[in-house]
Amino acid sequence: MSGSCSPSELLIAVIARLLEGCRHVAVGSQSPIPGSAALLARELSRAGPDGGEREPMRVSVLGSRRNNFFTSGGVELFDLAAQGRIDAFFLGGGQIDGEANINLTGTGDWPGTRVRWPGAFGSAFLYFLVPRVILFREEHTRRVLVPKVDIVTAPGTSAEGVHRPGGPYALLTGLALFSFDKSRRRFRLESVHAGHTVEEVLDNTGFEFDRAQRVPETPPPEAGRLALIRGKVRDEIAEIYPRFAAALVTADRASPS
């Protein structure tokens, strides 16, 4: 079963599991995998415990007309987050360190940064308010996962006494899934994706992290979830990311039967 899904489909399924129990998930721009995962999680949320249907999870995807009810873009996103009405959001970073600090600003000393990235766009605001922030970055190298970020665009934790309902919930990369312990300010390796090893994760991670003596393999999507990814979810995400949806079609055709 682990060989029957593509890397993108695995990441979509992992994120959908992380979103279980959420009422409202918001997804930013340029996020085809998180967007697909949120749409999958919404489909899975429709099934009630008795086999009937229930009110599905609400999903807001910036850039979508079909799945975005905001009329003022980020303004309403920030307002809802401040009201406690967004349960999950996604952040990445040019750099991410072991305390879940993220750097979206650039490398080097401010203001003379050698490399400039797009910037914060409210990331610190959302990081403080959204309770389930999933850090997502497909690249898993020491260039990205660093001992300490050059610039803290958004801090992973806050000093004692600071009111902060939001923060990091998990870190997902192309190699592995980590959870985050806010009290210890430390990641824990939860699983390693098929075809990769703990040693590979250690070699490519610039910060220390906790792990069990035996780290399990990341479970692949069940047949029903994989069918949703390749069917309804793929059709919906094609509205915003047609090239990504086309790549999922290619992966589907290339996968073993």
Continuous H helices in 150-238:
198-203, 223-228, 234-237
Name the pTM for this structure.
0.93
Residue 165 counted as domain residue: yes
User: How many Cα atoms sit within 13 Å of 174 on the Cβ side?
Assistant: 11
pLDDT in tens, 128-170: 999 999 999 999 999 999 999 999 999 999 999 999 999 999 9
Please give the mean pLDDT across all residues of the chain: 92
pLDDT score recorded for residue 4: 86
Range with the poorest average pLDDT among 13-17, 74-78, 137-141, 213-217: 74-78
The pLDDT score that the predictor gives to residue 110 is 76
Residue 145 lies in a domain: no
Pairing of strands 176-181, 58-61: unpaired
CA atoms within 13 A on the CB side of 7: 12
Q: Nearest to residue 130, comparing CAs of 20, 18, 25?
A: 25
Query: How much of the chain exceeds pLDDT 70, in percent?
Result: 94
142 Cβ contact partners less than 8 Å away, ≥ 6 residues apart: 204, 205, 206
Is 2 among the domain residues?
Answer: no
pLDDT for residue 177 is more than 90: yes
Question: Does some domain include residue 146?
Answer: no
pLDDT in tens, 184-209: 999 999 999 999 999 999 999 999 99
* The pLDDT of residue 31: 95
Q: Which residue in 181, 132, 130, 127 sits closest to 21, CA to CA?
A: 132
pLDDT at 82: 95
* Tokens of residue 173, six digits: 């990369």
Q: Are 251 and 53 in contact (CB under 8 A)?
A: no
Domain that holds residue 190: 7-92+120-138+158-194+208-254
Residue 113: inside a domain, yes or no?
Answer: no
Q: How far apart are CA 103 and CA 177, in angstroms?
A: 20
Distance CA 61, CA 238 (A): 13
Q: What is the CATH number of the domain that holds 244?
A: 3.40.1080.10
Instruction: Report if residue 230 sits inside a domain.
Output: yes
Question: What pLDDT is recorded for position 48?
Answer: 65
Query: How many folded domains does the chain comprise?
Result: 1
The pLDDT of residue 51 is: 64
